[in-house]
Structure 1
Amino acid sequence: MSEALFLTGVNSFCDQGFYNESIKEEWLMKLQQQLQKHRTDLIIAVGGLVLIALVSRYGFNWQLGYTVAMFIASIIGFIPIGLQAGSALRVRVISIDLLVSIAVIGALVIGEYNESAIVTFLFLLGALLEQKTMEKTRSAIGDLTQMAPAQALLVTTDGVENVDIDSVDEGDVMLVKTGAQVPVDGIVTKGNGYLNEASITGESAVMTKTIGDHVFAGSILENGTIEVQAEKVGEDTTFGKIIELVEEAQDTKSSVERFIDKFATYYTPIVLLIALLVGLVSRDARLAITILVLGCPGALVIGVPVANVAGVGSGAKLGILLKGGEVMATFKHVDTFVFDKTGTLTYGTPRVNAVKHYREDRDAVLQAVASIESESDHPLGQAIINFVDAPAQTVSETQVIKGMGVSATVGGISYLVGNLTLMAKYHVAISAAQQQDVQALEAAGHSVVLVAQNNQLALVLGIKDQLRPEVKASLNELRQMGAKQLIMLTGDNQATADLIGQELTLDVVKGNLLPEDKAAYVQALQDAGHTVAFVGDGINDSPSIARADIGIAMGSGTDVAVETSDVVLIKSNFHQLVTAFGLTKKTVANMQENIVLALATVALLFIGLVLGLVNMGSGMFIHEFSILLVTANALRLLLSTSSKQKLDQRQLLSETSRLD
């Protein structure tokens, strides 16, 4: 009985102790949260007390007022620093806050209240400015998040209901009015309008959307009213994935950052040990405390992460998703770029590239041909429709001639649209010069469409998947930036591949390749010692994107390619590849500059200490200044982004004015 009572008492005591400990932990957490919330007010209070102390001493020669104000300032300033150090110790981390805490306690013990007050003020001020700078570098994510739609108009059996975007499910139908954002990725089921998709695709032109067309969350309906059935909602939308990728990238550490973190875990205890030994040997507590202050590796710890975050944020503003610091560190060393053809170097869809006309009424013939092709779903016909972009005319007597083309009548005039065999069947005369035009287009890789008007050849259209206009200049820039090899791998026939290779002066061109052949070629390049970047857009490119040292996906590509890649060019503009390559080089260089600045600062502080030129207060001032210096250096990446955006806008305005 007595034993049972004893055990019950022990358990009760232990439970009570655990309960009290839990209350203590919760109380400390709430205190830290409150201090964090009022950090600015706290710094103002400490700074004000330091100012009062200085005025008391040097203005009124009041030593007691000076001492009391400095002491109170030290205590107030020490509370958040000490709590932070304690929290780190509880998880077995020796942090910078611990070095400062010990230094402040030591200064208070030996009566150096002025030193302890100034150290706490500068440390808190530096931490606040560091936080504000990091918030600035993460502004790209904030901008993206604010652009995401928060509300939606849900179409129900009872009418239209305004709902939170989080409550929308796949299959729901949304109403979108003029000026509103599309809340989901989906298909237009009713109405039509003009959508601005620049925030998603980078395409500045307003797109016409009607029933059956796909739309993206975050795009803006400039005019019209549409109903959209949701296919993807929330984080699954294209816009949601962009935000998620940027957030993940900014939180991903590079090998340099991981090294710095590991270095700091050993460096901080070493500084503590050195300070202790110096104090014991020299019997100079002030000197030991000063070593603790000067040895804080703040600039070293913050310099690399802030550069990484600024680099990722800078890329996001330019429409480039760089998935973390490790990607940038590797991308910088790429010496071989391998490209897919279709959808990467080219647009990926056939377009009218050449028009040979043999009659004066060229435009009227083109409009008639587009009207005829509007009744067909053939890819070449769609290319003609997109090229002409004119209202359809009335078409009659349409007859499809299998394997040859189509005959029809528009405005009382008969037309033949098709290949040479169709022209021969209807005895359309083709002169030697016209025959040469056809052969020249075929030799250049075009699919040729001939148009006869009243049995006389009127047009010859050359249609092919065109090169992106910025590709050639961009490839030359890549060479200037250090690319040693530019290679194209494609599933198209070798003859078509060679034509593109010659036009772009590529180093190697390989055609007739299956997806596994492309991946094997990438592996062979890596085995030969090259650092390889593969640029593609389709599902068939995913194995090569995953295999390469750096996989790069065009933003218009498939979800698989985008998710497999290390870099996403959201706007699918090939020049973004050059921008991304240059940005990684700048970011890595910025990291290296920050490391040099941080180490140089520590070295100079200790040299100054040995020479008697630096004390605790001035040392902390220089230490905090070095943190601001490395963060300001990282901010240059964002400033250069803003300058580039303004330059691009000026170029766009200039080009628009020229066209007008």
Structure 2
Amino acid sequence: MKFIIKHEMKGRMRVRLSQKRMTYEQADILQYYLLCNESVKLAKVYDRTCDAVINYTGDRKEVIRLLQEFHYQTVEVPADVLATSGREVNAQYQEKLFNKVVFHYARKWFLPYPLNACYTSVMSLKYIWKGIKCLWARKIEVPVLDATAIGVSVARWDFSTAGSVMFLLGIGEILEEWTHKKSVDDLARTMSLNVSKVWLKTEDQEVLVPASKIKAGDRIVIRMGTVIPFDGDIVDGEAMINQASLTGESVSVRKTVGSYAYAGTVVEEGEITVGVKQVSGNSRFDKIVTMIEESEKLKSGVESKAEHLADRLVPYSLGGTALTYLLTRNVTKALSILMVDFSCALKLSMPISVLSAIREANLYNITVKGGKYLEAVAEADTIVFDKTGTLTKATPTVVDVVPFDGRTPDELLRIAACLEEHFPHSMAKAVVNAAKEKNLDHEEMHSKVEYVVAHGISTTIDDKNVIIGSFHFVFEDEKCTIPEGKQELFDSLPEEYSHLYLAIENQLAGVICIEDPLREEAKTVVAELKKTGFGKIVMMTGDSDRTASAIAKRVGVDEYYSEVLPEDKAAFVEKEKAAGRKVIMIGDGINDSPALSAADVGIAISNGAEIAREIADITVGADDLGQIVTLRRLSNRLMKRIQSNYRFIVGFNSGLIVLGVTGVIQPTTSALLHNTSTLAIGLKSMKNLL
């Protein structure tokens, strides 16, 4: 691909591609291609100018090479990415907005007065009919006020005022619809699947293959804690499945052979084999959009209050209009109240503020599944961290394998990787990656694998019982023993590492030592969170007290709890909530899921277990824990913006009513100032908070 570098600074490059025009699809393909490269932090492609802005880390030569090697035809992009990118939606609404403005002023300046009056009268019927329907339903809400203001203006032959009111209401509707649709689509897109590999069941074994290779009719195995990647019939096994992403209901559903499994739902318990029915299309995306639209999930408490307040104020506006007319017998003064209401600005600015904040969070790689969660983050005073993969690095590494039964370290690592690759956890990934680095390939040599949450894995190999997991699971639950003469070796295991214990036939076979280093930013993040108003920061882990104590001191948390089980984390969250505290839980594993669900806000790390991401209300990137601080500041500023908007709307519109009733300004001026301020505050609410 040929291109020109238009502008450049360290870590950032703006290029223009050598083509006359760019389609929406081409822009999406290029953006997907760039973002799939590890050296690219952020990429934006502008289809109108054929430009691309690239923020990158590392060598600029790598970015230039990427662009030189790029061809639209060779990039494989998932169909859902192209279908749901939102680029076409933005273009449509920009065009709607432009056409609305051009048509309004062209009609106002060039259309003869009789025709203009006739057009305004006809268009007013839509608003008047909405008001009548609202009254018919025995409600006195915003449509009644709009209908009255427009109807009275038309009745007084004041077509200019009626036209201006309708124009500004129309602009507001477009802006609200645009922001709402874009935010819902962004949210649905981030909730959509991103499954790269699946377990394909063949006649004699299971094979891990790219999801793109699966076709209708294939059978795939889905185990506990894993997202179901495709729609299909369950042909083997049974499981409790969480369907919250589609139905909004968090209660798991039991499904057995013959039941239908939906893409995007999560296996909470059990194991199933699914016969794939559909591998492409936007069915899941459409289902999520419908679920979001039909639920109250997007609405924050302040947003709902603003809507109710806006509707409650309508009778007072109508009553004030009638009272002013009775006292003054002056239609103009009475109309000054009718032309100014608090409802429009309240109902427009509040949702736009919230939806815009959700959009902005996406820029920082933070996925927020609803406005109410931003409000809860702002109000929270207690935050609970899981340790492994959260306060510590998301990619722990194997540093040693200590044999206890005569097998070689590589053979023990091969067995461990064979078991661990079936279950999503940072420690499991460390074992699998270590085996891959040593080219320790293996076929499925075990029977059915059973995963015990927060404990370990159990199976049989060559008719021998094999388990791998924590000290508690291996030695206390399963009563395994240390081989004779190996106690001294066991006692000398390095304490600075986390340990995974592998036992065969109830005897310790090997210990895998895993380095689980603390994130460099962890201490700073904890300190920054305290500055933002958190009164209590807690760390909870299944690790030993020795390891937990050392990490807690280094990070600076207020409290820590060691050797805890999933139910212990959830119980702690419930206890804090019962004490009147608002609690945030942050975790990345299957064992964190109960606590994530119990908290006021559950935050999952993006590369953690799929069930954690599904259950969580917010997902943050794995690269930087500082996104938690960003999220808190964003939420705090959102609440300040909402309060500021509220004060301005009440103050400014009250001033307009006073000026109108006292005769200082005319109703036309009141309407113009009111609607202009409503539009301005709506546009201001769309600006970034940070």
| Structure 1 length-normalised TM | 0.59
The yes-or-no answer on 1:294 pairing with 2:340 is yes
The yes-or-no answer on 1:535 pairing with 2:581 is no
User: Using the alignment, how far apart are the partners of 1:521 and 1:183 within structure 2?
Assistant: 33
Give the alignment partner of residue 124 of structure 2, picking from 63, 75, 78: 78
Provide the residue aligned with 2:326 in structure 1: 280
User: Using the alignment, how far apart are the partners of 1:286 and 1:131 within structure 2?
Assistant: 33
Provide the residue aligned with 2:301 in structure 1: 255
User: Using the alignment, how far apart are the partners of 2:523 and 2:517 within structure 1?
Assistant: 12
1:5-24 aligned at under 5 Å gives the runs none
User: Using the alignment, how far apart are the partners of 2:115 and 2:392 within structure 1?
Assistant: 71
| 3-state SS, counterpart of residue 534 of structure 2 | coil
> Contact 2:369 / 2:617 at 8 angstroms: preserved in 1?
yes
Report how far residue 377 of structure 1 moved. 3.8
Change (3 A) 1:523 1:236: farther
The yes-or-no answer on 1:386 pairing with 2:451 is no
| 3-state SS, counterpart of residue 443 of structure 1 | coil
| Cα-to-partner distance string for 1:254-313 (whole Å, 9 max, x where unaligned) | 222222222222211221121112222222222222321112521112121111111222
| Cα-to-partner distance string for 1:380-417 (whole Å, 9 max, x where unaligned) | 998578359656499xxxxxxx9xxxxxxxxxxxxxxx
> Contact 1:516 / 1:543 at 8 angstroms: preserved in 2?
yes
The yes-or-no answer on 1:106 pairing with 2:159 is no
Report how far residue 446 of structure 1 moved. 4.8
Report how far residue 332 of structure 1 moved. 0.6
Provide the residue aligned with 1:608 in structure 2: 659
Partner AA of 2:514 in structure 1: I
> Contact 1:81 / 1:101 at 8 angstroms: preserved in 2?
yes
Change (3 A) 1:497 1:128: closer
> Contact 1:534 / 1:545 at 8 angstroms: preserved in 2?
yes
> Contact 1:49 / 1:70 at 8 angstroms: preserved in 2?
yes
> Contact 2:188 / 2:288 at 8 angstroms: preserved in 1?
no
Provide the residue aligned with 1:51 in structure 2: 109
Report how far residue 487 of structure 1 moved. 1.1
User: Using the alignment, how far apart are the partners of 2:126 and 2:381 within structure 1?
Assistant: 49
Give the alignment partner of residue 683 of structure 2, picking from 632, 636, 642: 632
User: Using the alignment, how far apart are the partners of 2:634 and 2:531 within structure 1?
Assistant: 15
Change (3 A) 1:95 1:339: same
> Contact 1:257 / 1:304 at 8 angstroms: preserved in 2?
yes
1:198-597 aligned at under 5 Å gives the runs 230=276, 252-295=298-341, 297-346=343-392, 351-352=397-398, 373=413, 377=417, 383=430, 386=433, 392=439, 442-447=494-499, 463-569=514-620, 571=622, 573-597=624-648
Partner AA of 2:534 in structure 1: A
Report how far residue 48 of structure 1 moved. 3.2
Provide the residue aligned with 1:140 in structure 2: 186
User: Using the alignment, how far apart are the partners of 2:297 and 2:193 within structure 1?
Assistant: 21
Partner AA of 1:50 in structure 2: K
| Cα-to-partner distance string for 1:574-611 (whole Å, 9 max, x where unaligned) | 33322322222222222222212221221121132145
| Cα-to-partner distance string for 1:329-385 (whole Å, 9 max, x where unaligned) | 221122221122234333577513599xxxxxxxxxxxx976995576487998578
| 3-state SS, counterpart of residue 466 of structure 1 | coil
User: Using the alignment, how far apart are the partners of 1:271 and 1:74 within structure 2?
Assistant: 24
**Runs of 5+ unmatched residues, structure 2:** 1-94, 196-210, 221-227, 233-262, 265-273, 402-407, 421-426, 442-463, 465-481, 502-510
Report how far residue 636 of structure 1 moved. 1.6
Report how far residue 317 of structure 1 moved. 4.2
More helix by share: 1
Change (3 A) 1:373 1:283: closer
The yes-or-no answer on 1:92 pairing with 2:126 is no
Q: Choose 368-377 or 482-491, whichever is displaced more.
A: 368-377
> Contact 2:184 / 2:292 at 8 angstroms: preserved in 1?
no
User: Using the alignment, how far apart are the partners of 2:188 and 2:668 within structure 1?
Assistant: 37
Report how far residue 246 of structure 1 moved. 6.9
Report how far residue 483 of structure 1 moved. 2.0
Partner AA of 1:474 in structure 2: V
User: Using the alignment, how far apart are the partners of 1:446 and 1:255 within structure 2?
Assistant: 43
Provide the residue aligned with 1:123 in structure 2: 169
User: Using the alignment, how far apart are the partners of 1:511 and 1:259 within structure 2?
Assistant: 42
Partner AA of 2:554 in structure 1: E
Provide the residue aligned with 1:416 in structure 2: none
Change (3 A) 1:315 1:185: farther
User: Using the alignment, how far apart are the partners of 2:137 and 2:397 within structure 1?
Assistant: 62
| 3-state SS, counterpart of residue 487 of structure 1 | strand
User: Using the alignment, how far apart are the partners of 1:241 and 1:269 within structure 2?
Assistant: 38
| Structure 2 length-normalised TM | 0.57
Cα RMSD of the aligned pairs, angstroms, is: 4.9
| Cα-to-partner distance string for 1:142-181 (whole Å, 9 max, x where unaligned) | 86699999xxxxxxxxxxxxxxx9xx9975479xxxxxxx
> Contact 1:336 / 1:484 at 8 angstroms: preserved in 2?
yes
How many residues are treated as equivalent by the alignment?
A: 475
> Contact 2:188 / 2:285 at 8 angstroms: preserved in 1?
no
User: Using the alignment, how far apart are the partners of 2:342 and 2:432 within structure 1?
Assistant: 68
Partner AA of 1:550 in structure 2: V
Provide the residue aligned with 1:25 in structure 2: none
> Contact 2:589 / 2:609 at 8 angstroms: preserved in 1?
yes
> Contact 2:361 / 2:631 at 8 angstroms: preserved in 1?
yes
Q: Choose 289-298 or 553-562, whichever is displaced more.
A: 553-562
Q: Choose 370-379 or 124-133, whichever is displaced more.
A: 370-379
User: Using the alignment, how far apart are the partners of 1:554 and 1:274 within structure 2?
Assistant: 53
Change (3 A) 1:39 1:100: farther
| Cα-to-partner distance string for 1:540-573 (whole Å, 9 max, x where unaligned) | 3333223333222333444543444332336575
Partner AA of 2:522 in structure 1: V
User: Using the alignment, how far apart are the partners of 2:283 and 2:543 within structure 1?
Assistant: 32
Partner AA of 1:592 in structure 2: Q
User: Using the alignment, how far apart are the partners of 2:316 and 2:658 within structure 1?
Assistant: 18
Larger Rg: 1
Change (3 A) 1:497 1:545: same
| 3-state SS, counterpart of residue 681 of structure 2 | helix
